[in-house]
Structure 1
Amino acid sequence: MATPRIVALDMDGTLVESSGSIPEEFWGLLDRALGAGMVVAPASGRQLATLQHMFERNEPDTFIAENGAVVWHKGEIVSVSPLPGEAVRRVVDALDSAPFTAHAVVCKPEISYTAETTPPEVQSEVDKYYLANAHASSLSDALAADPDDTVKIALFVESDAERDALPWLAEVAPELNVAVSSHHWIDLMAEGVDKGVALNALAQQLGVRREDTAAIGDYLNDYAMLEEAGYAVAMGNAHPDLKAIADEVVGTNDEHGALCRIERWLEA
């Protein structure tokens, strides 16, 4: 394709190396992309505060956070998609009797909450993705103030999220959109909310045609984003389902496959 005007760029497993770092080469590439008028939109299950911190060295104009439930553009949150409060409470209350062990993160637009009983090793995983996180005596307490402003529930599943939690959630909260983010993480958003919907809304807001958008990702929470994009790129380390729908498969995240693809677009 010709050089896209918008590139939605997943973070973990795509831009971020296995070490957890953004490659040093990315910053110069981002400068060139922005200078060429390309909108590079980090698109992640991470919260907005975490993305802003990761990019404080050179902040793009746009972030797609919380798997599409929060969209930030040019200094302000332009889109928030909350979950129904009743469904949030139903999931939180049912977790104690779930046939697997999981720990919930209740996500608001600018802060998240975990129970103070969350095991330290799990909380350390939470802290990687939720910089603005507070502890609550219980998740019910976190919901008490305003149960209707929750934009996402993230579950850290100690076993296999796709195998164990996905079918259970389909029974407990069939009206919610569920995205498997990794082996242990699974996210719940409102119906019709995902990275693909957020990319489409962003393109419409900026007056960009669908065929002038691209998306790069590696896991199942990127599936809708790759489907929606004019050009879909799957990483070499991507889930097989993403590779099956991609227009192109590039190198792995540790091989900087996403950076190489953006570099080729800029050279074109």
Structure 2
Amino acid sequence: MTPADQPVLDPPALGTVPDVRLIAVDMDGSLLDDQKRIDPSFWPLLDALHERGVVLCPASGRQYATLRRQFGRDDLVYIAENGAYVVRDEQELSSDGVSRDAALPVVDAVRQLAASGADVGTVLCGKRSAYVERTDRAFVEQAEPYYARLELVEDLRAVDDEVLKLAIYDFGSAEHGAAPALARFDGPVRVVVSGEHWVDVMSPSADKGHALQAAQRALGVTREQTMAFGDYLNDLGLLQASAWSFAMDNAHPQVRAEARYVAPGNNANGVVRTIASALQLDGVLSR
């Protein structure tokens, strides 16, 4: 049976409407379909949430500038760089970066991997911009969708910016290639598989879940008033910080096991349909 032939789940039945005040939504594999599109029904849903006093929180490995451009508004809480940077109303709520002493050996290690034949490259994610020293079009095209501010530089070691994380793209399997090759750095940093081809090297305490907790504190919202959606391993903390946790139907098995519920998949507009059903906002789907 192909994915297109698989039955589409209905949103799970929650019973009574939960008192939700904050909704954290992963992007790739969750809100976005496989063509990286947001369903048009999302925008009236967002307006309905705002009218009800519910704050939406896009939570992504993407850069803050990329998320801000995509949503076009400042009243959301943006969890960027897989939790290393949290912003609302252009004000930083939290940041948790990587020291240069910890970051530069990873840069060197990826260079060595590439020299040995691995098809990999590094994005150094700073507060002002993201930076790449691998400048072939094939690699840059993989980075551009996630980093609205992206600079091509000669030497990542010479970049003068506060490092939030390092994102390593592996044209093969990140889970079986770049991640185990970088596992020896675990300790001073944390190595996280964030997608089929991406590995993030972050502060040991940087996590979407910790970032969501910072947002909860800033907004005066509890875990029981929080809903979250995710599909991949970097979303586990996000789900753990939420009482109303949903794995997408297309989620990694470990994420499905962690979540309280399973939502329809990302290609079935599962996030929007589940929120509308849970909060009884079904009218937005027909606007």
* TM-score, length of structure 2 as denominator length: 0.87
For the residues of structure 1 that align with 2:24 and 2:214, how far apart are their CA atoms?
A: 12
Which whole-Å deviations, capped at 9, do the CAs of 1:37-83 have from their partners, x for residues lacking one?
11110000000000011112x55421100001010012222212110
**Letter paired with 2:83:** G
- Residue 153 of structure 2 aligns to which amino acid in structure 1? A
| 2:276 is the alignment partner of 1:263 | yes
TM-superposed CA distance for 1:122, in Å, is: 1.3
Question: What amino acid does structure 2 have at the position aligned with 1:263?
Answer: A
SS at match of 1:163: coil
What is the rounded CA distance, in whole Å, between the counterparts of 2:172 and 2:232 in structure 1? 18
* Bigger Rg over Cα: 2
Identity %: 36
Structure-1 residue corresponding to 2:245: 232
Check 1:266–1:110 CA distance in 2 against 1; reply closer, same or farther (3 A cut). farther
The aligned counterpart of 2:209 is 196
Q: Aligned runs of 1:94-173 on 2, under 5 Å? A: 94-98=109-113, 100-115=118-133, 117-142=134-159, 145-146=160-161, 149-173=162-186
Distance 1:256 1:3 in 2: 23
In the alignment, which residue of structure 1 is the partner of 2:222?
Answer: 209
Cα deviation for residue 254 of structure 1 reads: 1.0
- Cα distance in 1 for partners of 2:75, 2:139 equals 30
Among candidates 193, 205, 221, match of residue 180 of structure 1: 193
Equivalent of 2:84 in 54, 64, 69 = 69
Q: Which runs of 4+ in 1 moved over 4 A?
A: none
Residues 167, 200 of structure 2: 8 Å contact kept:
yes
TM-score (norm 1): 0.93
Conserved? CA contact 1:112–1:133, under 8 Å: yes
2:53 paired with 1:37: yes
Q: Secondary structure at the match of 2:195?
A: coil
* 1: CA distance, partners of 2:128 / 2:54: 26
Does structure 2 retain, via aligned residues, the 8 Å contact 1:91–1:173? no
**Structure 1 residue 36: Cα displacement:** 0.4
Question: Which ranges of structure 2 fall in alignment gaps of 5 or more residues?
Answer: 1-13, 282-287
Tell me, yes or no, if the aligned pair for 1:8 and 1:214 is still in contact at 8 Å: yes
Q: 1:87·1:173 contact (CA, 8 Å) conserved in 2? A: no
Structure 1 equivalent of residue 8 of structure 2: none
The Cα shift of 1:133 comes to 0.4
Q: Is 1:21 matched up with 2:37?
A: yes
The match for 1:253 is 266
Residue 84 of structure 1: which of 84, 99, 102 is its match?
A: 99
**What's the CA shift for 1:173?**
4.3
For the pair 1:8 / 2:21, whether they are aligned, the reply is: no
The letter of the residue matching 2:177 is D
Give the structure 1 partner of residue 68 of structure 2: 52
SS of residue matched to 2:188: coil
Note the residue ranges of structure 1 that are not aligned, 5 or more in a row. Answer: none
Query: Is 1:152–1:188's contact at 8 Å kept on the other side of the alignment?
Result: yes
Query: Alpha carbon RMSD of aligned pairs, Å?
Result: 1.5
Q: Is the 8 A contact 2:93 2:214 kept in 1?
A: no
- Cα distance in 2 for residues equivalent to 1:90 and 1:54: 33
Distance 1:82 1:6, change over 3 A: same
Deviating more after overlay: 176-185 vs 120-129: 176-185
> Per-residue CA shift, 1:191-210, capped at 9, x if unaligned?
11110000111111211111
User: Per-residue CA shift, 1:133-161, capped at 9, x if unaligned?
Assistant: 0110121222xx35xx1001000012111
Match of 2:284 in 1: none
